[in-house]
Chains A and B, each alone.
Chain A
Amino acid sequence: MIPEVAMKFQGKVATPMILEVEKGAIKKYADAVGDENGLFWDEEYGRNSRYGSIVAPPGFFGWPLKWKGTFVLMTELRNEFMKALAAEGYIRFLDAGIEYEFISPIRAGDTLTASLEIESVTGQETKAGTRIVCVNKTSYYNQFGALVAIARQTSFLSRT
């Protein structure tokens, strides 16, 4: 059994966030990954590509939405969820995996609106006890209102 409070978060949607796709941030990202693809670095290369500009690598915004650059505060909703679970003793957090659907290119200069929903909250019995499995779905829309990507990230929360 998982705490009732956890279930209350299922289906909740966070306040949408506006994300500017900055050229410099794309370059820093590619540098950190060690990805030398000209599409992420080189303006001229990007201009001459099918995209006509530097693009963001798939998954550039990762998951969930980072918030003010502080440690896993993410959206206020996620923060609330984590706090509620911590109060029940679920203090250990594990990033278990991610799933993406990429629909359209994201170009440097785009402005995305990202909407995060706590899609599901379930319990799972393991040798170490019950763990909470939380799936966060983030949908990204561009400045034209088109859905460009969907991310589903799975977290495990456990007591030990």
Chain B
Amino acid sequence: MARNLLYWEDVEVGSELPALAKTATTLMLVKWAAASADFNPLHFDLPFAESQGIGRPIVHGQLKRAWLVQLLTDWIGEEGWLKKFSCQFRGMDYPINMKSISEPAEDKVTHWCKGKVVNKSVENGEYLVECEIWVEDETGKPTTPGTATVVLPSRAG
């Protein structure tokens, strides 16, 4: 898979990061539970989720965090370095069900991971770019806002 090489000089303040599409499914949540060892039944057990007052199972906050990390690592390429990252879980997100062992009940994107460049600077020889990042649901509502600082290679060497 070809990876991009992004230089600090080629990033403009105010520009948007290439958006990353995600389809949250119950299958994805089960995989995440196993991969992250987060077995909170809130994320896969309907009666339990109902008893907790959230209606139905919700997407793990930490999975949304991992999506946002991917948004950044996809953008900066392997010559870039994700230095600082934060996100807050402000809203609930829901997965769609499966219609077969591998296909979601609906063929659609459920969430978009997005970002915007808010600042550029050079500190201690590091070429830094600061971003606002977020996950938004199908209605365009941001549920998971955050910030990130990345270090990029410079044409100045």
Contact = CB atoms under 8 A, between A and B. Distances in A.
The 9 residue pairs across chains A and B that have the minimum distance between CB atoms: A97-B88, A66-B37, A32-B35, A99-B86, A32-B31, A32-B32, A71-B39, A100-B85, A33-B66
Interface of A: 25, 28-29, 31-39, 42, 45, 49-51, 57-59, 62-63, 66, 69-72, 92, 94-102, 154
Interface of B is mostly: mixed
Interface string B30-43: 01101111111100
A102 B70 contact: no
A96 B144 CA distance: 10
A99 B89 CA distance: 12
Interface in B1-60: 1, 3, 22, 28, 31-32, 34-41, 52
Interface stretch (B75-83, B96-104, B116-124, B133-141): B75-83
Nearest to A71: B39
Of B37, B52, B70, most buried by chain A (CB within 10 Å of CB) is B37
B89 A97 contact: yes
B35 A29 contact: yes
B3 A38 contact: yes
Given A57-B70, A97-B88, A66 B36 contact: yes
Of B3, B22, B69, most buried by chain A (CB within 10 Å of CB) is B69
